[in-house]
A and B are shown apart, each in its own frame.
Chain A
Amino acid sequence: EVQLVESGGGLVKPGGSLRLSCSASGFSFRSYDMNWVRQAPGKGLEWVSTITVSSNSKSYAASVRGRFTIYRGYAENSLYLQMNNLRAEDTAIYYCARDRDSGGYFDSWGQGTLVTVSS
């Protein structure tokens, strides 16, 4: 069974940093592109970032480009999101999601981790 478990969320002050983790199991992690998607409280879904199988290509939403970095750890089957210079508008549940065959759509999701940016 595919499992994605996010961690690392919490309360951080504006301008601060946080690193999110997503532990993957039940599938060959190194064979799938991976993504972060977020959802602000009471709002819709927003794609944040994608990393390819070999990590040679990374893409970001304009709202986070230059502040967030996606990377993956193959030995530990984990996906990460380093978030710097956080803003109030980054407050959201962050989901880790698996890309189906590099197709661009998301066939498995984690349960999410909440990031709150507030002073």
Chain B
Amino acid sequence: DIQMTQSPSTLSASVGDRVTITCRASQSISNWLAWYHQKPGKAPTLLIYEASTLESGVPSRFSGSGSGTEFTLTITSLQPDDFATYYCQQYNSYSRTFGQGTKLEIK
């Protein structure tokens, strides 16, 4: 199975900051990568698919990049609503896998 590794596991930042989360795949997944965020007690929400395509309704301060084995999610000008846990997910193979998550905390 393809393993997905996110870094960092925890990230402290302030409102207005720019932050980047990295996701690495154990083998090439082309651009078959999605990003989600999840708030406590809620289901995850899709942010980005195909590594860089913004889901409809998602603010433009979110962006994704990368291909092959290394990917990034960038959030510019953090808003209070952005503090949550972020997950990457590969769908290159039918055995889909998620990263372990990155918790974005308020500094």
Contacts and interface: CB of A to CB of B under 8 A. Distances in A.
Interface of A: 35, 44-47, 50, 59, 61-62, 95, 100, 103-107, 109-112
Contacts of B32: 104
Interface string B61-99: 000000000000000000000000001010110111111
Contacts, number: 56
A46 B1 CA distance: 13
Classify the secondary structure of B's interface with A: loop
Q: Which of B1, B43, B89, B94 has the most CB of A within 10 A?
A: B43
A44 B99 contact: yes
Q: Which of A47, A50, A59 has the most CB of B within 10 A?
A: A47
Given A50-B96, A61-B95, A45 B87 contact: yes
